[in-house]
Structure 1
């Protein structure tokens, strides 16, 4: 054995409930696409409650709900009208309380999405800002600037929105407001104490209702420092993003906000937990979000950005466990979520060489032109990567439907799409046709209306091939992706121990093998030729062929 990798000095998950998050399996629910209890075409809170037994049977430790707040759905619910309520189309606060109770009864924690970088343009604070006019305290809660030109008819700068189009919007009185994302998502001014108070109230509101933690959307974007004369977009693009001084992204000052939040989290027993969505330039920058004085954990998207490649996976795991040791956190492993193409589809395309930004629109063609994607290879590699991930120390974040082996839905008609990145013409090299393909409602039955999602169809139409991936179809197949995930999560609960691993020599560059402190071993064959195990070695998860690990396959061995 060689190359021990250890998050030194980090407490191990045990009986202390405050440490539950360190090695938890967290299942992301995109509520509008999970399960529809009332047949209106939208998934809802009662739909989650109805599937509590499914989630318990899957074996997850926590559920993370993407936004369920009142919203015009300009950005899939990430345009929030009211941070302390439930969208009436999705239910009520009583429904939310019932869901929390149902999940807690089954030993499942609840994490909710908090969206602090921006609100909806329908939020009461933004409506007040528009009504109050220039120079008012209400406008200071957001980022307003006078326009250029004789009458303010030109934007304050030529900045581009992430979703395409300009990032400044006029309000008719010579002023413009800034929005990183959709026009309907004005950015807060986090130099204003009213904004701090709004979110401290929100964190306590949900914590008092029994929520166990928070996922922080765009955690690296809150703090901004805009000079009197704004730089051009070209100047912004050329600025260093690694020194904590960029005017818009990943500023050191943002951590003052999270130290304030940590005081709120620690008012509760056990303390509420948080995980940062922070797409930052370096591992060192990301580590700042994962300190005990701050949010405590930050998403590690490195495996999500990697090819199905042994060298990339080994480097990423080694590096991230070292980061965990440095921060006292635990790593987070993720392969899919609501913002990216499902990993079964990514692996079926040509290697990206570690770059999500250069895949192009072929990314979203799963289930469409067969000459652009190898569906079978993508499925094999996706399952192998998932079992590799679930064998690692740290927490694992799963996205709804990945346990079914779902591919991206590519052939969605323009009139059925909802993502602003599609309608606003965002960079096609990154977004292509947008994110709707991973947000299509789940198939629960192989037949029936919307494959069992709900009685009145689905808000994004499902393709016919979803029938083969339905929960009831896979439930009846012992070798299905769903049943493999169930076995893996059950074994993980039995075997997961410590926050370290040690790499073992395999004699092949395309095969990784590591051992956990209790002797549990994970072997992943990234190559195209079988990898022979020693005589007598028998996996507790995964199948050998003639004593060998097949190509593009992961097996687990008990210590």
Structure 2
């Protein structure tokens, strides 16, 4: 319920008049809204969750054994990064067989057992779908290489003749997201250089030709294969990349490359990093290879397939780095996907004005198409927010942190991360949590170069650190050679010594721990149905405070105060604190702290 209220508070800086705005930014959803409109979904990175067989790599039996942790945490569903058959050139995002499990993760029977156990625990299961590209070891691509130019097999991928007198130049100037050219030339059966194929990521990830009806039919069949096995939906990788502009024209976008903590232009690219670290396109911007209108008919067809399975709803979630928000929400129109990650929120600075702006614009954009906003702060592709927020607000986005980079303030980062999560989980809509963030895990920032496996690191000659730091195996116990990750000492990426401090067994049942904070936030979010509530801004606080109410006709409104400033701030006298991201100071909300309170 949304009511007008004014309170005059005694504040360290003087009298403060706090009032709720009269018009909500976002109206409340139906109390019985579909599960996905309010769900909190937990991302599992299978290689790093739990290792049952002791080979140092997480697997499906390991996941199954640890699912009670998520039941106790209080999430609604899990999303698993790829576990399909793959040569693992990009940690499974190079799929060789979409209908089987890679032996390092287990078997199809293990997948069935994991899905069944999750459902027993009341957890829905979402799996990754990687439709933009396959592995170069996929049977279709191997057939294309053998068949030669002009063949039907090559039509399933993006093969083209090169430019130049002898075809020695790539077909266009597109750059790979991972660095270097987006084209690789093949050697034909006669031993001579031949056509080029497109790979917007690694050369071992050739792009499909989504104009080809066989490609569309194949993926519709793959969706049914996994739906028939009981999955509840799909997170769609590079959802904005399937369709390319007709004619594959050169891009005219300015190219940038991320080096450490700053974005540099062409002149700043080190000579030693050429050619693989050539400045490359920003794939969040619209260009000939991203966010083409034709992609939407693909997802309309997929939505029809999912709806044919009846209730409860099976869902699609888009990984779509698309700007502006008006184009991003096209992916979640009523006949397309159900959710899309809110990357504008993820990349927003720890500045109150910026957060208020992105929350407002996100809700308004999603409301314009009748979709929920889906909030997220961390995932397997970005520096964990417990580390990211340990830098000064406004620090440019980084792609990994190495030992030679400026280091985050670990204590400050965790304090802000807890506050940011408390703010996120108070917002209407859905939310995603990345494995280990409930422990406050920071990125591994001291990993030696010889252990790094992200193809970005190799293709940029180390100029970009890459994503390995956020993918380090989970610490379950402070003791043991792999911190409880598995029965052996091996882990596919080394765990930093500091991870022992964050282990589950060091936090479970400990008042004030990050794990217990997450449990409290999720329990109260569910109890108060915050995911279906309205959002109204609260005025009167200083500019460095984010204050809002989450309202419902079914309960008292919840006041949320996130203090991003230096001075502590007061709560209304009649506000009853429900949960706080950190201890209060004489009843005041200190810096980098978020509080939920019932406000009558």
Same fold (TM over 0.5): yes
Q: Partner of 2:521: helix, strand, or coil? A: helix
The question of 1:302 aligning with 2:362 is answered no
**1:263-302 → structure 2 map (5 Å cutoff):** 263-270=304-311, 271-302=313-344
Q: Deviations over 1:436-485 (max 9, x none)?
A: 00000010000102101012221000011111000001114221100110
Report the structure, 1 or 2, having the larger strand content.
2
Runs of 4+ residues over 4 Å off in structure 1: 232-244, 368-371
Kindly report the root-mean-square deviation, in angstroms, between the aligned alpha carbons of the 2 structures: 2.3
The TM-score, its normalising length taken from structure 2, stands at: 0.87
The question of 1:512 aligning with 2:553 is answered no
Cα deviation, residue 159, structure 1 = 2.6
Match of 1:87 in 2: 102
The counterpart of 2:526, out of the listed 493, 497, 505, is 493
The question of 1:461 aligning with 2:497 is answered no
**1:162-311 → structure 2 map (5 Å cutoff):** 162-173=177-188, 174-227=194-247, 230-231=249-250, 246-270=287-311, 271-311=313-353
The question of 1:537 aligning with 2:575 is answered yes
The question of 1:314 aligning with 2:356 is answered yes
The question of 1:558 aligning with 2:592 is answered no
Q: Deviations over 1:164-194 (max 9, x none)?
A: 1221111113101000000100000001001
Q: Deviations over 1:145-165 (max 9, x none)?
A: 112344433322333211112
State the aligned residue count.
543
Cα distance change on mapping 1:126 and 1:13 into 2, 3 Å: farther
Cα deviation, residue 239, structure 1 = 11
Q: Partner of 1:5: helix, strand, or coil? A: coil
> Matches of 1:120 and 1:225 in 2, distance apart?
23
Q: Residue 4 of structure 1 contacts residue 501 of structure 1 at CA under 8 Å; is this kept in 2?
A: no
The counterpart of 2:479, out of the listed 422, 426, 447, is 447
Match of 2:153 in 1: 138
Q: Residue 160 of structure 1 contacts residue 233 of structure 1 at CA under 8 Å; is this kept in 2?
A: no
**1:12-411 → structure 2 map (5 Å cutoff):** 12-14=30-32, 19-173=34-188, 174-227=194-247, 230-231=249-250, 246-270=287-311, 271-352=313-394, 355-356=396-397, 359=398, 364-365=401-402, 368=403, 372-411=407-446
> Matches of 2:353 and 2:441 in 1, distance apart?
26
Cα distance change on mapping 1:38 and 1:255 into 2, 3 Å: same
Cα deviation, residue 305, structure 1 = 0.8
Q: Deviations over 1:56-75 (max 9, x none)?
A: 00000000000111111111
Q: Partner of 1:486: helix, strand, or coil? A: helix
Q: Partner of 1:64: helix, strand, or coil? A: strand
Cα distance change on mapping 1:277 and 1:149 into 2, 3 Å: same
Q: Residue 77 of structure 2 contacts residue 124 of structure 2 at CA under 8 Å; is this kept in 1?
A: yes
Cα deviation, residue 509, structure 1 = 0.9
Q: Residue 25 of structure 2 contacts residue 363 of structure 2 at CA under 8 Å; is this kept in 1?
A: yes
The TM-score, its normalising length taken from structure 1, stands at: 0.93
Q: Deviations over 1:222-261 (max 9, x none)?
A: 0113427x426668999999997x4211011110111111
Cα deviation, residue 6, structure 1 = 4.4
Q: Residue 164 of structure 1 contacts residue 426 of structure 1 at CA under 8 Å; is this kept in 2?
A: no
Q: Residue 159 of structure 1 contacts residue 233 of structure 1 at CA under 8 Å; is this kept in 2?
A: no
Q: Deviations over 1:247-297 (max 9, x none)?
A: 211011110111111110111122311111111120011010011111122
Cα distance change on mapping 1:170 and 1:13 into 2, 3 Å: farther
Q: Residue 5 of structure 1 contacts residue 318 of structure 1 at CA under 8 Å; is this kept in 2?
A: no
Q: Partner of 1:539: helix, strand, or coil? A: strand
The question of 1:415 aligning with 2:450 is answered yes
Q: Deviations over 1:60-111 (max 9, x none)?
A: 0000000111111111110011111111110111111111111111111111
Report the structure, 1 or 2, having the larger helix content.
1
Q: Partner of 2:327: helix, strand, or coil? A: helix
Cα deviation, residue 505, structure 1 = 1.8
Q: Residue 38 of structure 1 contacts residue 454 of structure 1 at CA under 8 Å; is this kept in 2?
A: yes
Q: Partner of 2:339: helix, strand, or coil? A: coil
Cα distance change on mapping 1:168 and 1:528 into 2, 3 Å: same
Cα deviation, residue 371, structure 1 = 6.4
